[in-house]
A and B are shown apart, each in its own frame.
Chain A
């Protein structure tokens, strides 16, 4: 049984019904790490936020179901699930902590929110788990005394405090230095094995995703365009967009040039009846602009394309 099953999720603007996320379905198994990659505006964050009903004002889920452990997440049960069974780490550690409250107190608050008695030992353990030196001193520090990387560790400590089944990480390393990024990635991996948690890792960085997850979901213009294991996606991508994404990665071999994808991504609601990538695709067919390609499976890999690239990279 899968831990989380998202079926036919559609998100639109509440005012004029513009589609932002179009018919997205995926599953996360217990202990599995899944990555969602895509450009800004591809709907990856919105898909993740919908899981915990955290969509911003002006945006709403118009259809689809989200099942956690086989049961649909009901509004009443949200308080028991958020931060407890499913927790989240956000992109910007600078705004995630209250500048006027000591770190230790902020961790205690999470315990209080779930009616668990605040236990100093537990707070200190959480801090040392995320490799924060001198937890006692740190618990008594204010967030501004911490660097970005240390704040993000605190956020991870808070997210993992109640041993969640699923950790949603919304680009948690984007705001950090590359060296710090590496430390955070290692930390999350280590904590994942420790707690046997599943991870939903959202990123626009294919390299980070390849490092962190087993299954990759590629999103474009509000839709899933390709799903597969990291190996399949990198060695045998079928969708031209995935190929383009991989082609635009920085290569180690210096002869190879970085290739960018020409054009800009369309607004998701303008391409609901056609392939979203058609305007930028090198091997577009006439029917790509007439009909929406459905996700078709080939083994464990699946992709939404009428004219897939075969034979791998």
Chain B
């Protein structure tokens, strides 16, 4: 590379210059720390341990989010629920994003029969509402977190394929891509140097959006009783259980609901921040 006079600023600096990105990052970091605490069983109470003497206690220094109808500590359960939600959505979106990127780029770039095949199959998936599709898959696969992840991944893969294929179709016809091909560059080089970098911003935004949708879908499935099973904690399941107690014990609903909101909002903010910092044309000086 050429020696630079002006200091080379990495995208990380641009990312933290945006307020949205910063806020999103802080909230997401807190949620991830919380999930790690739950992962290493370091929560103040065991998320599934019942305490009949402390049923439906409002928030206090002992139970900062209060307790539920079985006397379980809401705060510990929320941490454990966030851990499950994040794990399921990260795994699901990794699978969907990987498969979607691969299929989308190949379908868009090479076109012809493969393109038709991939797009018609995604059309079939699009014909079903996402949550219904996930329900059907989960009920045939099973109820473990791995099954839920796979179900969500299957539902979201066609969205990634579509989101990626569109720009690739346009990029393929750009003069600089044609020029690179005409100059005799290998197909992998054209794909990795000229096509992929130009879809990365869209791809990242889609990942962030899908993560938040996946959290909602996972909660939705648990809410309907098809995701995480009691007594394990999950945000959706907790909201579902709080239905019967929220009228007189508001804290049973507020804890998991707020956690859901923060998870979804932070992922959206991180997505915006990433898009603005990774795409050089969007950077402000």
Binding site for B on A (CB under 8 A): 52, 54, 79, 82-83, 90, 92, 95-101, 104-106, 109-110, 113-114, 120, 123-124, 136-137, 139-140, 142, 144
Other than A83-B179, A99-B280, give 14 A-B pairs with Cβ distance below 8 A.
Answer: A82-B184, A83-B182, A90-B175, A96-B176, A100-B197, A100-B198, A101-B197, A106-B176, A113-B185, A123-B2, A136-B5, A139-B2, A140-B8, A142-B280
For this complex, 10 residue pairs linking A to B, each with C-beta atoms less than 8 Å apart, are A90-B175, A97-B176, A98-B174, A98-B194, A98-B197, A104-B1, A109-B180, A109-B183, A136-B5, A140-B4
Q: How far is the CA of A288 from the CA of B3 in the complex (A)?
A: 65
Binding site for A on B (CB under 8 A): 1-6, 8, 174-177, 179-180, 182-185, 193-194, 197-198, 200, 279-281
Of the candidates B6, B179, B197, the one whose C-beta lies within 8 Å of that of A96 is B179
Contact across chains for A95 and B174 when beta carbons are under 8 A apart: yes
Who on chain A is nearest to B170 by CB?
A95
**Residues on the B chain within 8 Å of A101, using CB:** 193-194, 197
Who on chain A is nearest to B179 by CB?
A96
- With A99-B280, A142-B281 known as contacts, the answer to whether A136 contacts B176 (CB < 8 A) is no
Contact across chains for B2 and A120 when beta carbons are under 8 A apart: yes
Contact across chains for A137 and B6 when beta carbons are under 8 A apart: yes
Contact across chains for B3 and A120 when beta carbons are under 8 A apart: yes
Q: How far is the CA of A104 from the CA of B6 in the complex (A)?
A: 14
Of the candidates B2, B184, B200, the one whose C-beta lies within 8 Å of that of A104 is B2
Contact across chains for B175 and A95 when beta carbons are under 8 A apart: yes
Who on chain A is nearest to B200 by CB?
A100
Q: How far is the CA of A101 from the CA of B198 in the complex (A)?
A: 9
Q: How far is the CA of A140 from the CA of B183 in the complex (A)?
A: 23
Of the candidates A82, A106, A144, the one whose C-beta lies within 8 Å of that of B280 is A144
Q: How far is the CA of A52 from the CA of B184 in the complex (A)?
A: 13
Who on chain B is nearest to A100 by CB?
B197
Q: How far is the CA of A144 from the CA of B2 in the complex (A)?
A: 19
Contact across chains for B198 and A98 when beta carbons are under 8 A apart: yes
Contact across chains for A92 and B175 when beta carbons are under 8 A apart: yes
**Residues on the B chain within 8 Å of A97, using CB:** 176
Contact across chains for A113 and B280 when beta carbons are under 8 A apart: no
Nearest-neighbour CB distance to chain A for B3, whole angstroms, equals 7
Contact across chains for A99 and B281 when beta carbons are under 8 A apart: yes
Q: How far is the CA of A90 from the CA of B179 in the complex (A)?
A: 10
Interface core residue of B179, B193, B194, B280 (most chain A CB under 10 Å): B179
**Residues on the A chain within 8 Å of B6, using CB:** 137, 140
